[in-house]
Homo-oligomer: A and B are copies of this chain.
């Protein structure tokens, strides 16, 4: 019965109001996706484990002729979530960024291609920022009206960070372009 971060993702999403495994996955797609993605093939087995550990309860919740399971967090589940949130140690951020890896080795490119690469990375960061402001933030604000403010905190953090990154890369590209003439 060892819980890992994906277990808490499921537990936390149930606590925020998602009822089915499918709903949990949908919720992550417009919220935790950029810093903690998951898949249905991870959510369903995780729900089974949490149920057999007594951290959630399952009940039948069919919708028309379509079967569905609804889950609720138990008191022990709530305790486990809070204990995790309060614990001192947490895993270091794990990132794999192919764009930055390219930039790292970009000296093998011509000056023009270096600028192209930087602008491509900038565009990607800008697109991510826009997506967060237009899709993720509104969904988080809706959650805020039900008493959960921090999904909104995280959405603002993400949007602001992507904006910072896009600006940084834009400046870097312009400087490089000016230097190269």
When C-beta atoms are compared, the residue in chain B nearest to A5 turns out to be B98
Say which size band chain A's interface belongs to: 35 or more
- Closest Cβ of chain B to A96, distance in Å, is 4
Q: A133 CA to B84 CA in the complex, in Å?
A: 31
Provide the bound-state CA to CA distance between A98 and B87, in Å.
12
Copies per complex of this chain: 2
Known: A96-B36, A157-B168. A102 touches B82 (CB 8 A): no
Taking CB atoms, residues of chain B closer than 8 Å to A37 are 94, 96
- Minimum CB–CB distance from A164 to chain B (whole Å) comes to 5
Q: Does A15 contact B (CB under 8 A)?
A: yes
The chain B residue with its CB closest to the CB of A120 is: B88
Cβ proximity bits A136-174 to B, threshold 8 Å, 1 near / 0 not: 000000000001111101100100110011001100100
